[in-house]
Structure formats: C-alpha cells, structure tokens
Structure 1
Amino acid sequence: MGTQFGHIYRQLTFKPKPLPLGIRLDGQTAIVTGAGNGSLGLEAAKELAAHGLARLILAVRNTAATNAEAAKQQILEQSSPEPVACDVQIWEVDYESFESMAAFATRARAELDRLDVVILSAGVKKLEFVRTKTGHESNIQVNHLGTAYLSLLLLPSLRQTARQTGRKSRLTIVASEVHFWTPFSERSAPLILQRLDEKSSFGEKGDMERYNTSKLLNVLWMRELSSQVSPASASVSSGKSPVTINAVNPGFCTSALHRSHVMPGQAFINHVLAWTPTQGGYCLTNAACGHHDRQGAYISEQEVKPTSSFVTSAEGEKSQKRLWDETVTLFQDVDRSFDLKYLLGS
C-alpha cells in the first residue's frame, strides 16, 4: 500500500462500485463541500440524493456562478434508481475565509433541523506558491485549515442529530494516497504551520510536494479529531462517539482538481489509469454511508486500509499532536468565539 507501483496496479485492477440499492437515506440531511461541476463532491451528492436523501446542501465558493445552479439541476434531473425528490440548496462557503466558514456553520445550526452526513471534499492542488488572503499558503489554507475548521464547526449539528435519532452521524474527510509520498520535513521545524507558510519551504520540494503534504495533514487531523470527540452527549450504544469520523482516498480521477496540473501525455495517462468522477464519487459515498463500526479509519478502494507507516509511527503520533495544538491555537486567534470544549462535546 502506498507505493507508486501499487497505486498504478490498483488503478488498473479495481473499479469503485456504487452504493447498494438497499441503502436508504430517507429523511436525512447531508452537506457536501466542493460540489461544483466536474468534482467528486458533485458526483457523491448525486448518489446521496438518489438514495432518498431529504435535503442536500451543496457548499460552493460562489453561489452566483452558473455552474452551481447547473450542478443542482444535474442532481434533480437524474432518475436512477428512482426520480429524485430532494430539497437541494446551494450555500456559499469560502475555505479561504474563516468568517465565511463560521457563517456557514452558524447557518447550518440555525436552519437545519438535522444534519446526518457531512463530506468535506473541497480542495485545491496548487503547484506554485500562492499566499491566500488569510496569509497562509493556498494548499495548507484550503486543504488543511479550511477542512479542519469546518470539521470542528459542524460537529455540534452532527452530534445533536445523533442524539435525536439514536444513530451515528457521519463526517468524512477527503484525503489521498499521496499522503504516503511526502517526507514531511516541516515536522522538524519549531512550528509546523509557520514553516509551511514560508515560501522557501515550498521551493525546496517538487511541485506536487506541498499538495501531498496537505493530504497527509488531512489524515493526521482526522485521526486526532476522531480521538478527541466526546461520547458523553449522545444516546448511542456502547458509549462510543456519536459521530463516525473517517478519511477517504478517492483514487486518481479525472476531476476538476487537476486542472492546474497538466503533464505531457496527460490525456493518455487519464485514459489508461484514471477513474471517472462518478467512480471517485462512489468512493466518497461508500466512506460516508458504510464502515459504521470504524472510527478514525483511512478508507481506500472502498475498504479500511493502513495509513502510511509514518502516520502510525511514534514520530507521526508526535506530529499529529503538534499539528492539532498548532491548528487549534490558530483558530482561537482568528475566532474569539471559538470554544473547543463545546465543539467537541466535552
């Protein structure tokens, strides 16, 4: 698992499968971020709606964009396995704005009477150093900080629904197999996030290195978050957490994520190796609707798989704790109302 050869082999030999028809989401509400045209998020949203979902929030950066409305229409117009009768809403959320994400979560608490499923699929792959308006490097701001912030802010709504229904809610973070492929040298810096925001650290690596690192941060964050959530406030069995939190590798797919990374022979590589966006969406929905008994798991090829050896090493666990502490401190600095104990249910 995690080698380049193994990656190619799995891309060639495994094909993701849709959810079984017997899985029903009647009455449930889901949020999917990064659900624009050509995205795995949109394909996952389509499948969720087709399984009886009552309400679907498509979280996009620009609600005024024509492709956001087109995405909504694609969901409503599908007819398999049955005509879709889902309340599809388009909400704005900008992963490059902590204020936007906080407003999004506040709206969710105010307007949604329940929240059963969250898929955090928004992401970027920037091959050149770009500093966002928050001051952080783009891959780190969107893929790690944005994902981490929303994962915390939406926990109370997920937890409340678990309490009401007696059934676990689901939080799925979209990671990647590329988390195996980074040395993550920034872990030796006094402050990991500060070092990742320095242009010199970006320039020391190949173009893909920072994206790969951001996906490793997704896995580390997911593992620590899943260990931090409190079971005390939900009526679920065995005293387990009321929210199942996992990460998923959707594989290499021909999605809009790769629009800034075009290599010679890309069309041929895509034809031979890449899965379709629909197949990538199947991986997301499998993680969000299956594996109910697993917490803090890494799901790849629609099965629970080992993470990289670094993640489970003593050094990885140390980095995981440091990343958690640095990230939470950052959130406390940018949001005076940030209450970690409330968000975790402790």
Structure 2
Amino acid sequence: MGGFLGFVYRQWTVKPKPLPPALSLSGKTALITGANSGLGLEAARELVSRRLSRLIIAVRDPSKVWPLDHDSYESIAGFGKRTEKLERLDYALLNAGVKMMSYEKSALGHETNVQINHLGTSAVSLAVLPALNKTSKKFNTSTRLTIVSSEGHFWIPFKERTASNILMHMDDPKTFGTQQQRYYTSKLLNVLWTRELASKISPEEVVVNTVNPGFCYSGLHRHSASFINVFLWLFAWTPEQGGSCLTDALVRQGGSHGAYVSEQRLTAPSPFVLSPEGATVQKKIWSETIALLKQEAPAIDMSMVA
C-alpha cells in the first residue's frame, strides 16, 4: 500500500461499487460539504437514490444551499449552530477541499491548502459534533462523521514535522515544497486529526473515520499541470466511482472508528502514521490546531473534546 506501482495496480483493477440497491436511508439526514460538483455531488446523488430523507449540501455559494466557507470561522460557527437546530443529523461527510500547486495565503492568513483542507475541515468537524451527538442520544443510534483524505498522505516527506510549531512553520512560503507536496501534507493532517478526534469520542455516539476516494476525474485537479490529463486518462476512476467510495465509508464499514478506508475497505494508513513518531506528531497537530482555533475561532463549540 502506498507505492506508485501499488497505486497503478489498484486504479486499474479495483472497481468501486455503489451502495446496495436494497439499502434504505429512509428517515436519515446527511450533510455533505463541497457537494456542488465532482465526487461530493455524485455521493449526494447516490445517498438520495437510497431514499435518504434529507440532504444538506454545504458550499461557499449561499445562493445554492447552506453557506459554508472554510476560510471564515464566522461562517463555520454559524453553520454549526444551524446544524444544532436540525431534528436529526445522522451522517456528515466533510469533502470540501482544494489542491493549490503554488503558495497562496488564505483570507485568514494561513497557507491555503492548510487552511481549507486541515484547519477549516477540523473546525467544521468540531462544529457539527454537537448535532451528531444529540442525534445519537435522542434516537439511540450511532451517527457518523467521515473526513475525506487521500492516498497521497503516504507519499510526502513531511519535513515540517520537526518544527517547534508545525502549523506556524507551514505558513512560511519557503516550506511549501514542489508540485503536490503541500496538498498531500494537508491530507496527512486530515488522517492525524481524524485519529486523534476519534480517540476522544465514543463510537457509540459518533463514529469518526477518514476515506481515500481514489484518483478520479474531478475539478480538484484544475490547478494541476497539464500532464495530469495523461494520468487521468490512464488511471482515473469516474466521479461516480469516487462518489461510491465516499458513500461506502460514510454509511457502511461497521465496527470502525478512527479508521482509514480505501478501496471500500478498512486499510492501514501510512507507516509514518502508525509509527511512534507519527503518534507523537498526531498529538502535537491536535494540540496546535485546538490552540489555534481557540484563539481564532472562539465561537466554535469545542466542549465535546475539551
């Protein structure tokens, strides 16, 4: 798992399957971030086709659905408060993300991949926890929170891990790296955050996992170099197949918690994540993220993990 040849083999041989037609999500409510296009949209369509009672699509454009901007903590806090007013929230799929190929500073002052993919996603995960927890207690059922990561978390050196403050260090343009390194690092942060978040929440209340949707045709690649089109032609899954990977991780994979789901099965994350050093960095990333959010986003409810 994790090597280029393994990646090629899986992309050519694995054929993700949609949810069983007989599976019914009647009575359930789900929210998906970044579901206005691509894999998120296909996941939304598949959930609705399985008789989901209510679907909330959260994107930056407020004219379309529930507004949610990962580069605004005010937006994230408001979104969380709105979810708490729902009658129930059974599933939350945090799919929104970017892949920036050159250094850009976000509106909040952090490197954009880190802000949108890690800090924003982490803040949203905390903001929706109260609604998921309330549902689990009210209806005596486990709810599910799934964060979209990437197999790319296997492939980066993560040199920033030795810095005294990792997240602050990653705001320095000199640390950005080349090509997709920073994007893949942000996906590693997703895995580390998910594992630590899961350690602080009972799976009987909220099951927390992360998922690799595979390499798929998607607008995510719009900032990539032109040669990406060759890789897409050779190896990519369809958006529908990627969406099925997301829905599978969201509503199936029973008995999991803090897990990494890839090719629609529970899979070991990268050796670094499982190493003693990875465990130490995982807790460091958690502490730094919580401290940053307490300072920059005090309106977000963090009581479940305090």
Shorter-chain-normalised TM-score: which range?
over 0.9
CA distance, structure 1, for counterparts of residue 72 and residue 204 of structure 2:
29
Q: Distance in 1 between matches of 2:183 and 2:170?
A: 11
Number of aligned residue pairs: give it.
306
Q: Please name the residue that 1:256 is paired with.
A: 219
In structure 2, the gaps of 5 or more residues are none
Give the CA deviation at 1:339. Answer: 4.7
Name which of 64, 73, 92 aligns with 1:98. Answer: 73
SS of equivalent residue, structure 1 residue 328: helix
Q: How far off its partner does 1:334 sit?
A: 1.4
Residue 226 (1) aligns with residue 198 (2):
yes
Higher Rg: 1
- The superposition leaves residues 162-209 of structure 1 with CA deviations (integer Å, 9 ceiling, x where unpaired) of 11221110100000000001111101000000001111111xx21211
SS at match of 2:57: strand
Identity of aligned residues (%): 47
1:164 maps to 138
1:199 corresponds to: 173
Structure-1 separation of matches of 2:163 and 2:229: 39
Quick check: 1:50 aligned with 2:24? Answer: no
Q: Measure how far apart 1:338 and its partner are.
A: 4.4
Maintained 8 Å contact 2:70/2:76: yes
Q: Which moved more, 1:19-28 or 1:280-289?
A: 19-28
1:35 aligns with 2:35: yes
Quick one: distance in 1 between partners of 2:225 and 2:82? 38
Distance 2:52 2:120 in 1: 26
Structure 2 counterpart of 1:246: 209
Equivalent residues in 2 for 1:334-345 (5 A)? 334-340=296-302, 342-344=303-305
The 3 A distance-change label for structure 1 pair 145 and 104 is same
**For structure 1, which segment, 160-169 or 185-194, has the greater mean C-alpha deviation from structure 2 after superposition?**
160-169
* Alpha-carbon distance change, 225 to 93 in structure 1, aligned in 2, over 3 angstroms: same
Residues 138-169 of structure 1 show CA distances to partners (whole Å, capped at 9, x for unaligned) of 00000000110010110110011111221110
Cα distance in structure 2, aligned partners of 1:300 and 1:36: 23
Please state how far the C-alpha of 1:107 moved relative to its aligned partner: 1.1
User: 1:56, 1:307 → 2: CA distance?
Assistant: 30
TM-score, structure 1 as length reference = 0.86
Rounded Cα–Cα distance in structure 2 between residues aligned with 1:272 and 1:333: 45
Match of 2:271 in 1: 309
Q: Give the letter aligned to residue 327 of structure 1.
A: T
Determine the C-alpha separation between the residues in 2 that align with 1:138 and 1:96: 9
Distance 2:178 2:263 in 1: 27
Are the aligned partners of 1:114 and 1:158 in contact in 2 as well (CA < 8 Å)?
Answer: yes
Aligned partners of 1:251, 1:328: CA distance in 2, in Å?
Answer: 29
Q: Secondary structure at the match of 1:285?
A: helix
* 1:108-144 deviation digits (Å, cap 9, x = unpaired): 112x110000000000000010001100000000000
Could you give the per-residue CA deviations for residues 4-37 of structure 1, whole angstroms, max 9, x where no partner exists? 1100110000010000112111011110001122
CA distance in 2, matches of 1:141, 1:197: 10
8 Å CA contact 2:213–2:262 kept in 1: the answer is yes
Change in CA separation of 1:339 and 1:281 when aligned onto 2, cut-off 3 Å: closer
Q: 1:267 to 1:191 in 2, by over 3 A?
A: closer
Taking the TM superposition and a 5 Å limit, the aligned residue runs for 1:145-184 are 145-184=119-158
The CA distance in 2 between the partners of 1:23 and 1:217, in whole Å, is 33
**Is the Cα contact below 8 Å between 1:153 and 1:343 reproduced in 2?**
no
CA distance in 2, matches of 1:335, 1:164: 28
Superposition TM-score, scaled by structure 2 size:
0.97
Other-structure match for 2:293: 331
Show structure 1 runs of 5+ residues with no match. Answer: 69-89, 232-239
Q: Does the 8 Å CA contact 1:125/1:258 hold for their aligned counterparts?
A: yes
1:123-138 to structure 2, matched below 5 A, reads 123-138=97-112
Whether 1:321 aligns to 2:283 is yes
Task: Describe the superposition over 1:257-297 as per-residue Cα deviations: whole angstroms up to 9, x where unpaired.
Answer: 00111333x44422221001110000000000111211011
SS in 2 for 1:343: coil
Supply the AA of the counterpart residue of 1:102. Answer: A
SS in 1 for 2:32: strand
Q: What is the alpha-carbon distance in structure 1 between the residues aligned to residue 299 and residue 81 of structure 2?
A: 12
